[in-house]
Amino acid sequence: MKLLQLPECILGEFEATATPKFAILSNCRDNIHLRGGKRDISSSNLHESFANSWIIKAADHLALLGIYHIWVAEVCIGSADEERNEAVNGLRQRLEKAEVCFVYLHDLPAGVSYDQDVWAKCTFWKQARALPDLLIPPRVEFFDQGWAPRGSKGSTELASLISSITNISTRVLLDSSTLTDFGLGVRISWAAGRTASLEEDLIYYLAPILGISMQTRYDEGREQAFLRLQKKVLRDCRDGSLFGWLSSDEKEVRGMFSKSPDEFSHFAGPHKKYQWDGPWPMSSKIRFCNRGLELQVQTYKLDPYIVVDIGCCEANLSQLKHRRVGVLLRNWSGVYVRAKPAVQSVVFSTAPFQMIDVVQHLDARKASKIRSYFESQDNSSSLMSISQVEKHLTTTLAISTSPRDVLEAGSMPGISPNEDTRSGNATPTSVQLSTGIKRGRSGRPMSSPGSRQEQAGPSSRSYRRSHSDSESSDSDSDASSESEYDDYDEYEDEVIELDPNHPLLVIRSNLVDFVYGQGKSWMSSATYTTPPQDRLPPKKRCRTIDDQSSPALIKYEEGADDHFIARRFDGFYHLACPYYIAKPEKYYKSCLLGHSLQSIEDVIGHLIQHHKEPPYCPICRREFDSPWVRDQHVRTRTCAVVNSGEVDGVNERQRRKLRKRDRVRLGEETRWTRVWHTVFPELAPPESPYLHDGVDVAVAMMRDYWATRGPKLAEGYLGDSAQLDSHDMQTLDAFYRLVLDDLLAKVWDDVDFRSGSGEAGSSETV
């Protein structure tokens, strides 16, 4: 590293491991760029050249701090390619190692107070080089045109003033270590509206803010440099806010990447659309291919477009758990391009994953050609017109003060903009949404338990291959198995409770007592058994109707005289959660009453979603609610080392193994045992993976009873107590779920089942 030694003004080069204490001088008066400084003078006359310069004046202040070496752009950057690359790629490390960064505001009048109007006129705030100089160094000192100290960015008053001028959060100004807590879209927005003497330098100064390094290619232009930066960033993260940019022309046709940091300006400033500043978790899988970007992403059909989910913007945690954002894509010759790039959609439901190819970048000529093609298609096609689509889309992503307003806006794929998309003043269209709705991962409202057989039948994801498929190679099984569980990874279903004054809740207790009496009577005579281990999944866990004349579930056994004996029974045992068996005192009630596991896919999905290893301190083994809180704790370095102490949960390594080791061809018990060995490699597996004793099987049987007969009993009971026509299916579905919760709670509290004196039904084992 080249440093200028003071007061002699001798330029020297130092090894990275032997760098003396040094300061960085930041000055926008000469508008120095990273391509090379103004070092057109020899080392012998540097002191003479700088005799009356601002560098010598800075030296007087640095001497008070015991610092006699400085890094300044116009002296320490040469014109050679190696020096330019070092200046760009070593910028972050250089700023972090510096003892202090002096910012000389040559156009700030001496003695002026903290008047925002006066300070905002300083050209430093609009320079690209100001961004890393403000954010990365732990200590930044400001001086006015008379070289009088004006304060440090670490002071609350000055940090607040700088934040008002630059739209940069005071949190990162006061603590540079929090930089990574901000999403990519927010960090890029800090570069919006800034200038540099060479347009590529705007991107090179942004790179260390995003935590990457870039090769310098001057004369390529800002757009190409920004495209390279986005590709580089995308290889190392899955922050969907990188795709959250907005164009000023909604009729444009674009690629997936932005052209300028200015298109991220809505992430900060007066027109800020998102209260959440953190990363947007994006559950998609992304890879680069010869057709652009290959995305395995959740999509929503809206002819002639698709809405692609680009991540979860947890904007209002107290009112709505997940608030996701989508962008519009349109098919062109087998690949997708971004259409209406000035529009975004609020996404509240979930949808299946789909593999699509999206163009990364379009030049102006090709974009114009595609745009003309789309316009001709819209004029001649019977598909939904652009104006009709606009009625279903919105660009209003500002946080609603009312959770009801947010939910109303989210019941459609999107809402149309009523005003300028960049103004932040659009008004969402209000759509009535029934209360008490739970939406499944398919994006559709979940039907009543009777119709969808939530408890009785296997999961809709459970078995999609025929018997011949189950004999396929392990590699095929691997690929399919991993895709089966992708939608378990990030989000839980969102449940909207019924209003406490809803009329159905008045009869809730009486209905529960009525159904429980009927169910307990059925359970006393019902027969359950283990499913056949013929490597095929059981078709059903329970009979679906009460008609005794219809075929019951039948198990065939070979008799003594080589005859097959048919035994009638009512259902198969449900599978147990491995954590429930290994640590019943901790997970007994929550796993048993909260989840029904009717397939191995259900077991794996349950482990991934509900038994994920929590963030914990590797030093003291303390658990935390979020990685951010854990990291804050670790940074304090105040805890003591604890060598013992177990942290429950499936870690990332186990999560991958759960997906890859599952084999449908092995049979249910063997597959469950594999799951056990993955989660608890040092513990011996239990004799059975099923819930077959006491209250365990009683809870499972009550689930099955409610799923197969409960809604019919409830409808008959409610027919005399309420007008069912006044309640839609979604409201009834929410009510039925509350009834099921009460039924399971009564089974749990029933002394007969817990003591074993009234054990449910009879059991048979294979």
Q: What is the pLDDT of residues 154-190, one digit of tens each?
A: 898 999 999 999 999 999 999 988 999 999 999 999 9
For 230-260, the pLDDT digits (tens) are: 999 998 888 999 999 999 888 899 999 999 9
Is residue 708 helix, strand or coil? helix
Is residue 269 helix, strand or coil? coil
Mean pLDDT of the chain: 74
User: Phi, psi at residue 479, to the nearest 5°?
Assistant: -65, -45
pLDDT of residue 109: 92
HEC secondary structure over 463-517: CCCCHHHHCCCHHHHHHHHHHHCHHHCCCCCCECCCCCCCHHHHHHHHHHHHHHH
Q: Does pLDDT of 564 surpass 60?
A: no
pLDDT of residue 28: 61
Q: How confident is the model at residue 554 (pLDDT cuts 50, 70, 90)?
A: very low
Kindly tell me the burial class for residue 220, based on how many C-beta atoms sit within 10 Å of its own C-beta (0-12, 13-18, 19 or more): middle
For 146-155, the pLDDT digits (tens) are: 899 999 998 9
Q: What is the pTM of this model?
A: 0.54
For 690-710, the pLDDT digits (tens) are: 988 888 888 888 888 888 888
Cα atoms found within 13 Å of the Cα of residue 660, Cβ hemisphere only = 7
Q: Does pLDDT of 288 surpass 50?
A: yes
Angle at CA of residue 578, ends 613 and 696, nearest 5°: 130
Q: Does pLDDT of 418 surpass 60?
A: no
* Domain ranges for the chain: 2-181, 253-398
Kindly write down the DSSP assignment for every residue of 608-627, as one continuous string: HHHSBPPPB-TTT--B-SSH
